A and B are shown apart, each in its own frame.
Chain A
Amino acid sequence: MNISQDLSIIELIINASLVVKLVMLLLTGVSLMSWYYIFRKSFALRAARQKTDKFERDFWSGGDLTAMYQSAVNDRHHSGAMEHIFEAGYREFAKLRGQKTLDPATVVDSSRRAMRATYQREIDDLESHLAFLASVGSVSPYVGLFGTVWGIMHAFRGLANMTTATLAAVAPGIAEALVATAIGLFAAIPAVVAYNRFAHDVDRIAVRFESFMEEFSNILQRQIR
């Protein structure tokens, strides 16, 4: 019986050849991973946005910088990325401020360098695993296609053994093989969408950080005089 009566998805998967099965397994694993990172990233980015909002509100409400620094140091585990940047910059500034020998421009510069280092670390943290999503998005269709091509090759080889060549004889094999492509696309599409969305979100957060760094540098410069 090379014609199965109903093409349920389970039957298609069970009847597939070993290579196709492996491809499907791999793709399912990849899809699982990518969804895991999609959820993790979306939670992390949402948290980062909320904390940034909160810190910006606090900062521009005109509180004392030293008090703000103290609270940021004390509450480090709950503070957001922007708070970390502020903390690094202000710490550097506070260290160098007392030394009269230093040029004010140097103090602001080194404080800005400290902020930039923290900024890069934070952005890197936010961007982590985005590359995985990107590669899932670009590669998994090809992997699925490989499984499909392999499955179709099998189907046609089976056709060679038959006396009467009918479409019905190869159709189930091709349907089985196409499941691999379907799984590949299922893994790829959300990954691509999520990658684009997250990359955009990270960019926007990065812009906010950068403008904050510039504004904060100006504030520090004003404080020196």
Chain B
Amino acid sequence: MNESRPLLRSAPAPGKRLSLVLAIAVHVLLAGFLIYGVHWQTRAPEAVEVELVSAIPAPSAVPPAPTFEPEPAPPSPPKPEPKPEPKLEPRPEPKPLPPPPKPDIALKEPKQKPPPKVVPREIPKEIPKEIPRPDPFKEQLKRETERLDKSKLAAALDKEVAGAKSAQAAAAAKKSSDEWGARIRGKIRGNIVLPPDIKGNPEAEFLVTLLPSGEVLNLRLTKSSGNPALDAAIERAIRKSDPLPKPEQGEVFQRELVLKYRPRED
């Protein structure tokens, strides 16, 4: 009997503590995965369109066009033509040629012909007879005309260029402004409670007056979506989102915003 007793209890089951630790580890891992790995976003930024447009649409609409046209087109054609010709021809040739005896003749000739200008005197000294005669004048003329053209162009483009520069700055600012728009969009989107019976994808437009702190000072419906319930819902959402997020760069801030809202974007 004594011998048979120990058989009743077999050796203790192995790994009790280890399995407890492992079980907890499994749960901690799963919880960690759920908490940090999974993010259910209720807002999808693309689903709703809130366009951020400055109150006066004209300036922002015009500048983008000049930025692309004036810079590459006008300046590039004049530069390659005039500058390589005058500068490359006179200078490489004069240096080898001054020692030969011709300078005297060259001096006389130019003196008679190009008296009016001070600059030509220097050029003819160095330049042999073959080329200088036609060239200095024409080139001078060319230069003059080009200068004139340039100055005209510059004068004409001045405003445009200024506009373009400001447009470039605006483009840089546009990025942050877009980002700001996206953030406003996201916040409003998070707060909106759409009425159930929306037909189609109507667009409503609101004019929002903002304080620099992002608080909504005034909110006015400028274009109804045709569905009063939707208008009301959007208005509620905007009011609920008060204060709206501030832009990252202060200068992007606009006091008056036109918010366009579409319930769906498909």
Are A35 and B11 CB-contacts (below 8 A) given A8-B39, A10-B35, A166-B194? no
Tell whether, in the assembled complex, residue B24 and residue A5 are in contact, meaning their CB atoms are under 8 Å apart: no
Contact with B along A24-58 (1 / 0, CB 8 A): 00001001110111111001100100000000000
Tell whether, in the assembled complex, residue A88 and residue B7 are in contact, meaning their CB atoms are under 8 Å apart: yes
Chain A's closest residue to B196 (CB) is A166
Tell whether, in the assembled complex, residue B18 and residue A39 are in contact, meaning their CB atoms are under 8 Å apart: yes
Tell whether, in the assembled complex, residue B26 and residue A77 are in contact, meaning their CB atoms are under 8 Å apart: no
How far apart are the CA atoms of A87 and B3 in the complex, in Å?
A: 10
B42 contact set on A, CB distance < 8 A: 3-7
How far apart are the CA atoms of A3 and B196 in the complex, in Å?
A: 16
Would you call B195 an interface residue if the criterion is a C-beta within 8 Å of the partner chain's C-beta atoms? yes
How far apart are the CA atoms of A81 and B15 in the complex, in Å?
A: 17
Cβ contact of B10, chosen from A73, A84, A169, cutoff 8 A: A84
Are A35 and B14 CB-contacts (below 8 A) given A5-B43, A6-B41, A7-B42? no
Would you call B13 an interface residue if the criterion is a C-beta within 8 Å of the partner chain's C-beta atoms? yes
Interface residues in chain A, defined as those with a beta carbon under 8 Å from any beta carbon in chain B: 3-10, 28, 31-33, 35-40, 43-44, 47, 73, 76-79, 81, 84, 87-88, 91, 118, 121-122, 125, 164-169, 186
Are A32 and B193 CB-contacts (below 8 A) given A121-B8, A186-B30? no
How far apart are the CA atoms of A35 and B21 in the complex, in Å?
A: 10
B30 contact set on A, CB distance < 8 A: 186
CB<8 Å pairs between A and B, sample of 27: A3-B190, A3-B193, A5-B43, A6-B40, A7-B42, A28-B27, A32-B23, A33-B23, A35-B23, A39-B19, A39-B23, A40-B13, A40-B19, A44-B13, A47-B14, A73-B3, A76-B11, A81-B10, A91-B3, A91-B4, A118-B7, A121-B10, A122-B10, A164-B195, A166-B196, A169-B193, A186-B30
Min C-beta distance of A77 to chain B, whole Å: 5
Would you call B228 an interface residue if the criterion is a C-beta within 8 Å of the partner chain's C-beta atoms? no
How far apart are the CA atoms of A32 and B19 in the complex, in Å?
A: 11
Tell whether, in the assembled complex, residue A77 and residue B193 are in contact, meaning their CB atoms are under 8 Å apart: no
Would you call B88 an interface residue if the criterion is a C-beta within 8 Å of the partner chain's C-beta atoms? no
Min C-beta distance of B26 to chain A, whole Å: 5
A87 contact set on B, CB distance < 8 A: 7
Are A44 and B195 CB-contacts (below 8 A) given A6-B39, A10-B35, A186-B30? no
B172 contact set on A, CB distance < 8 A: none
Tell whether, in the assembled complex, residue B40 and residue A7 are in contact, meaning their CB atoms are under 8 Å apart: yes
Other A-B pairs, 6, CB within 8 Å; known A9-B38, A35-B26, A36-B19: A3-B193, A5-B43, A6-B39, A6-B42, A88-B7, A166-B195
Would you call B162 an interface residue if the criterion is a C-beta within 8 Å of the partner chain's C-beta atoms? no
How many residue pairs, one in A and one in B, have C-beta atoms under 8 Å apart?
89
Are A9 and B13 CB-contacts (below 8 A) given A87-B7, A169-B193? no
Would you call B34 an interface residue if the criterion is a C-beta within 8 Å of the partner chain's C-beta atoms? yes
How far apart are the CA atoms of A188 and B11 in the complex, in Å?
A: 30
How far apart are the CA atoms of A221 and B84 in the complex, in Å?
A: 117
How far apart are the CA atoms of A220 and B35 in the complex, in Å?
A: 63
Cβ contact of A40, chosen from B7, B15, B35, B190, cutoff 8 A: B15
How far apart are the CA atoms of A6 and B43 in the complex, in Å?
A: 8
Tell whether, in the assembled complex, residue A78 and residue B11 are in contact, meaning their CB atoms are under 8 Å apart: yes
How far apart are the CA atoms of A40 and B12 in the complex, in Å?
A: 11
Cβ contact of A84, chosen from B7, B16, B23, B194, cutoff 8 A: B7
Min C-beta distance of A174 to chain B, whole Å: 13
How far apart are the CA atoms of A37 and B26 in the complex, in Å?
A: 13
Most buried by A among B10, B26, B34, B190: B10
A9 contact set on B, CB distance < 8 A: 34-35, 38
A38 contact set on B, CB distance < 8 A: 19, 23
B19 contact set on A, CB distance < 8 A: 36-40, 43
How far apart are the CA atoms of A77 and B10 in the complex, in Å?
A: 7
Cβ contact of A8, chosen from B20, B40, B191, cutoff 8 A: B40
A167 contact set on B, CB distance < 8 A: 196
Min C-beta distance of A113 to chain B, whole Å: 13
Tell whether, in the assembled complex, residue B15 and residue A39 are in contact, meaning their CB atoms are under 8 Å apart: yes
